[in-house]
Amino acid sequence: MSYFYPKPLRYQSLYGISQLTLTEHYKIYLGYVERTNEIRSLLLSADRAKANATYSPYRELKLEETYSLNGIKLHELYFENLTPMGEGEPEQELLLYLGRSFGSWEKWREDFTALGMSARGWAIMALDLDEKIRNFLQDAHNLGEITRSLPLLVLDVYEHAYFLDYMTDRKGYIEAFFRNIHWGVVNRRFRQALAACNACYPFSTP
Ligand code: FE
């Protein structure tokens, strides 16, 4: 069986996000790694013969596996798409996709900010492999994602991500998030998603 190993955090602080917040946030991520490994270990011996949709240990383990595993993946995406003071800018084709999907870069940013203000867990910009770029929110790690969508930019809006620094000023945290985006990482994810996308319109060839 394969176990997960935590990825190190590449920075100690970010613009507007303190070392204390990041240290505590990273501990939460480590918890998801530990729980996922524990769940996978328990699944080895879970009784498949007693599986049912009302209650069974197998069902509960499979359910929490999605919560815990997505807790790992979403945090890794979030930490990776940030760097102190940000880096780079969105590549041209990504801007074209955002324009096609939202009307303009400004409208995408306005929508993503509203998304961050509305979500109870995660705000995600993703390439929907069946059409275009979508912004969608998840109220829990395993609640709200769109099937066949690949995340490009992930924002954690659980209170643990900002409350020590911003208290109830979530908007201030989202503004700091924008300042820290590593666009090189987002561009790379976009390229990888495009390669997997059959239905996406090839904007680069008029
Ligand atoms: Fe978090």
Residue 130 pLDDT greater than 90, yes or no: no
Q: Separation of 79 CA from ligand 1 center, angstroms? A: 9
Q: For residue 155, report the distance from its CA to the centre of ligand 1, in Å.
A: 9
The residue count of the chain comes to 206
Q: What is the mean pLDDT of residues 18-22?
A: 97
In which residue are the tokens 């066949």 written? Answer: 148
> Smallest Cα–Cα separation from 152: which of 84, 78, 86?
78
**pLDDT digit string, tens, across residues 77-120:** 999 999 999 999 999 999 999 999 999 999 999 999 999 999 99
Q: Which residues are near ligand 1, the ion (C-beta closer than 5 Å)? A: 156, 158
CA of 56 to the centre of ligand 1 (A): 29
| pLDDT tens-place string over residues 133-167 | 999 999 999 999 999 999 999 999 999 999 999 99
Residue 3 to residues 23, 63, 74, 80, 133, Cα–Cα distance (Å)? 23, 18, 17, 21, 32
How far does the centroid of ligand 1 lie from the alpha carbon of residue 12, in Å?
Answer: 16
Q: Give 164 Cα–ligand 1 centroid separation in angstroms.
A: 13
Q: Report phi then psi at 51, rounded to 5.
A: -65, 135
Q: Average pLDDT, stretch 58-64?
A: 98
Question: From ligand 1's centre to the CA of 75, what distance in Å?
Answer: 6
Q: How far is the CA of 74 from the centre of ligand 1 (A)?
A: 8
| Token code pair at residue 11 | 């920075």
Residues 33 and 68 sit within 8 Å (Cβ to Cβ): no
Q: Does residue 125 register a pLDDT over 90?
A: yes
Q: In what order do the strands lie in the sheet with 133-138?
A: 133-138, 122-128, 149-156
- Res. 206: pLDDT tops 80: no
Judged against a pLDDT cut of 90, whether residue 131 lies above it is answered with: no
Q: What's the CA-to-centroid distance between 114 and ligand 1, angstroms?
A: 19
pTM confidence score = 0.95
Indicate the pLDDT class of residue 204, thresholds 50, 70 and 90: very low
Average of per-residue pLDDT across 190-204 = 78
SS3 content of the chain, % helix, strand, coil (to 5): 55, 15, 35
What's the distance, CA 194 to chain centroid? 18
**Cα(45) to centroid(ligand 1), Å:** 30
184 CA to middle of ligand 1, Å?
Answer: 22
Residue 27 confidence (pLDDT): 98
Q: How far is the CA of 22 from the centre of ligand 1 (A)?
A: 10
